[in-house]
Amino acid sequence: MKNIKLILLAAAAILIVGWGIVAFKAFGKQEKPLAGAPEVSSSAPADAPASATWLVIHLDDSNDDDRYILSAAYPAIQNQAAAVNFNAAIEKIVQDELQTFRIDAAVAAESAEEGTGSMFQMDYAVVFNQQGLFSMYLHKLSFIEGSQRPGEVNIPINYDLKNNRPLALADLFSEKADYLTFLSEYCTADLKTRFHEALNTAEGLAPIAENFAHWNLTPGGIEFTFSNFQLGLDNATGEQSVLAPYSALKSLIQSNGPLGWAK
């Protein structure tokens, strides 16, 4: 198709400029310590693995027939016992996202003779890399030809380097701790200070695991992220995050678990 790469590149430039502020906020806010957050000692226990080091994997692709361009960057851990399993897990996540995008882009291109094309961009941010724990998220921006607006989502990944396995939220707390009820009440109270009666908490913040599945470890606590749909808020509000400080979670944390050092 004539000049399709020029069309796609022009569309990329426009969208990247438009998304630049959003992307900067998404990544930039993680680079500085959270205001008022307690500092976590950088000295790990003697039996904890060293902080992870990684290489950045870059993927780029374009297709004239299906009218798309894509780019992705994500980390591959080096020199760790956990490297093979972690790298395989993140590779699968990225490839699944790319495959879904390619299918959607092909369907969109087939339904329209001409168009601006589809775009996919993925980057990442590491938000915690201490005490044998590695917490990051993949930041995905995508636009499917014919859509009204681009889609944006953060995909959290939490990993226990010491035990070489993904880190589940339940792994952090004592078996008898009613942590979901605590998190439901804590996050509801925090969000109500921002949105008051506009916040619909009947289902989106109920004490069930799926409502608190989007989380990351940070130096100051566990940060939970909620979509506007989950909270019953207007689309313009975007995602909302709530930081539950380690100091507020002390009585719930498993003493000999991954967060034992935070008690």
**Confidence category of residue 229, pLDDT binned at 50, 70, 90:** confident
Q: What is the pLDDT of residue 49?
A: 65
Q: What is the pLDDT of residue 202?
A: 65
pLDDT at residue 260 is higher than 90: yes
Tokens of 145: 């030809």
List helix spans (H) across the chain.
Answer: 4-28, 83-111, 179-195, 228-231, 246-249
pTM recorded for the entire structure: 0.81
Q: Looking at per-residue confidence, does 19 or 255 come out higher?
A: 255
Under 8 Å between Cβ of 120 and 100: no
| Distance of alpha carbon 40 from alpha carbon 30, whole angstroms | 15
Q: Which of 193, 186, 194, 195 is nearest to 215 (CA)?
A: 186
The backbone region for 236, taken as left when phi is positive above 0, alpha when psi lies in -120 to 50, beta otherwise, is alpha
**Confidence category of residue 186, pLDDT binned at 50, 70, 90:** very high
What amino acid occupies position 181?
A: T
**Number of CB atoms found within 10 A of residue 45's CB:** 10
Q: What is the pLDDT of residue 239?
A: 84
DSSP β-bridge partners for residue 226: 240
Q: What is the pLDDT of residue 195?
A: 82
Q: What is the pLDDT of residue 115?
A: 74
Under 8 Å between Cβ of 145 and 120: no
Q: Which of 35, 33, 32, 45 is nearest to 262 (CA)?
A: 45
Q: Which of 157, 170, 161 is nearest to 44 (CA)?
A: 161
Q: Domains of the chain by range and CATH? A: 1-167 (3.30.565.40), 169-263 (3.90.640)
Span 200-227, pLDDT tens digits: 666 899 999 999 999 999 999 999 999 8
| Distance of alpha carbon 230 from alpha carbon 200, whole angstroms | 8
Q: What is the pLDDT of residue 5?
A: 53
Strands 68-78 and 118-130: parallel
Span 4-52, pLDDT tens digits: 554 454 455 444 444 443 333 333 333 333 333 333 333 344 465 679 9
Span 71-125, pLDDT tens digits: 999 999 998 899 999 999 999 999 999 999 999 999 999 987 777 899 999 999 9
